[in-house]
Amino acid sequence: ACNDDELSEFQESGIYRFKNSNAVFIDPVRLLNRSHTRFRVSPSVYYSRFFESKSKHSGSQELEVSSDSKKRKRKQKKPHNLNERERVAEQRHQKVKPELLKAHEALLGSTDLLSTMKKLRSSFQSSITEPGVGQSFVELVRVWQAPMYEITLNYQQSCVIDQCSEQRVLPLFNSLVANETNDDVEAEVLNRKFILPRWGCFYMSELGQIHNLIPAESDCGFNLIVIDPPWENGSAHQKSMYPTLPNRYFLSLPIKQLTHTDGALVALWITNREKLHNFVEKELFPTWGVKYAATFYWLKVKADGSLISELDLFHHRPYECLLLGYCSREVSNLENQSAPRPVKDNQIVISIPGDYSRKPPVGDLLLEHAPGPKPSRCIELFAREMTAGWISWGNEPLHFQESKYFLAD
Ligand code: SAM
């Protein structure tokens, strides 16, 4: 009966909490849908990877054979000698490994959840979508014509704010565009359609304009700041997806100025490179005035519950880290700052990944740890999507809001 409760709660919330464990399994599609009223995120588009399409005659057997042979190939490789930095990375990995294994065992032990997972991709009607066309905003924001681009918000009859207009036209770049209604709003840019969640805002600009988000009054600052920087990592594939920036650029992010008088929880996604861990611990957090509090791990699984790669694979770990810390405007505030619930270390969030480099929506899991008044004021930096009630900043915060990622009712 306990499992039934967990499962029905999961169907509702998108969050499955394992008993006596520091791990949760989440369905990003359900979590993202919390932001929307009339539109639903398309599961078949979200889960475009890690749901192997089974061919009817061979079943899953063929897949198992091929992944087994891959494993064998990897094992045959001679272990290379680790350099100093790699040794530190390996130690870090060995330290968290038991926790990750425990979390994965909890998942594999929840048979009801496992059978539900296989259906996540098809749990709603499938969507009919046209392939993405049109120029990326990343390019447009840089051209001299950028100030001339506009976005048109088309309000539903039922939520028109001022009596006379059902449309509002705003500059697309370097301006705060807000859906100040309690309903999804459809918006149009260059003949492409986008869905803006209720009370969702975005500011689309290059890094140089980010200071425009610094509130005039600090009690209008943010209590939760989620950051997923475009770290350089040398992969050619990544370079083709979005531009990256050298680490020194992130030192100048105005985190303290964005922080609310009562403080902010700062959540920073990082890759598994040891150099980066080191940079964040020794330089970035101290420069921002962020005091490290805990690490969350995102463990990536396939629809069948298996890890997306072997846990010990050095350069392709099946997990990523989210570093959490607290920022306060004044140093003295850090101690008496009221975190509603102290954030526990080593929490593990398991999910099936979506598109390349897309992070699971962890905002709801973090909210209970954000200091300050409720509802918390939240911002996502380098965002590619919008959340109800949040501000999304980056050079493509509308990316995953395009209508092709949604199912219409
Ligand atoms: N969290 C996002 C998600 O889950 O989809 C992924 C963010 S991705 C790691 C980093 C983002 O930063 C990309 O959208 C990239 O285009 C953007 N970016 C890169 N350089 C930028 C710049 N100079 N100014 C603003 N955004 C930039």
Task: Report CA(397)–ligand 1 centroid distance (Å).
Answer: 8
Tell whether ligand 1 has an atom less than 6 A from the beta carbon of residue 241: no
207: left (phi over 0), alpha (psi -120 to 50) or beta: alpha
Mind listing the pLDDT tens digit for each residue in 62-102?
344 445 455 545 555 556 788 898 899 999 999 999 999 99
How far is the C-alpha of 365 from the C-alpha of 343, rounded, in Å? 11
Whole-number Å distance, alpha carbon 300 to ligand 1 midpoint, is: 21
Q: Which pLDDT score is estimated for 132?
A: 55
106 alpha carbon to ligand 1 midpoint, in Å?
A: 33
Nearest to 182 by CA among 37, 53, 78: 37
> 40-62, pLDDT tens digit by residue?
999 999 998 888 755 444 444 43
User: How would you classify the pairing of strands 192-196 and 150-154?
Assistant: unpaired
b/e code 212-242 from CB counts within 10 Å (16+ = b) = ebeeeebeebbbbbbbbbbbbeeeeebeeeb
* Rounded Cα distance, 395 and 139, in Å: 9
380 lines ligand 1 (CB under 6 A): no
Does the beta carbon of 65 lie inside 6 Å of ligand 1? no
The residue to which tokens 């394992």 are assigned: 18
Nearest CA to ligand 1 atom 3: 358
pTM of the model: 0.90
- The alpha carbon dihedral of 351, 353, 359, 363 has a sign of negative
pLDDT value of residue 61: 41
Alpha carbon 20 to chain centroid, angstroms: 26
Q: Is 328 left (phi over 0), alpha (psi -120 to 50) or beta?
A: beta
| Residue 47 near residue 31 (C-beta atoms within 8 A) | no
pLDDT at res. 2: 59
Q: What is the pLDDT along the chain (409 residues), one digit of tens a residue?
A: 457 788 999 999 999 999 989 999 999 999 999 999 999 999 999 998 888 755 444 444 434 444 545 554 555 555 678 889 889 999 999 999 999 999 999 999 999 999 999 999 886 555 555 555 677 888 888 888 889 999 999 998 755 555 556 899 999 999 999 999 999 999 999 999 999 999 999 999 999 999 999 998 877 899 999 999 999 987 766 667 889 999 999 999 999 999 999 999 999 999 999 999 999 999 999 999 999 999 999 999 999 999 999 999 888 899 999 999 999 987 655 555 565 678 899 999 999 999 989 999 999 999 999 999 999 999 999 999 999 999 999 999 999 999 999 996 5
> According to the model, what pLDDT value does residue 64 have?
40
Mutate to test the pocket of ligand 1, among 384, 386, 392, 405 (most ligand atoms within 8 A of CB): 384
Q: Give pLDDT, residue 32.
A: 97
Cβ contact 242:400 at 8 Å: no
Distance 33 CA to ligand 1 centre (A): 22
Nearest residue CA, atom 11 of ligand 1?
Answer: 382
Are the CB atoms for 350 and 24 separated by under 8 Å?
A: yes
Three-state secondary structure along 129-158?
CCCCCCCCHHHHCCCCCHHHCEEEEECCHH
Q: Which residue puts its alpha carbon closest to atom 16 of ligand 1?
A: 242
CA distances 51 to 46, 303, 330, 404, Å, are: 11, 6, 48, 19
Query: What's the Rg (C-alpha) of the chain?
Result: 22
242 φ/ψ angles, rounded to the nearest 5 degrees: -160, 155
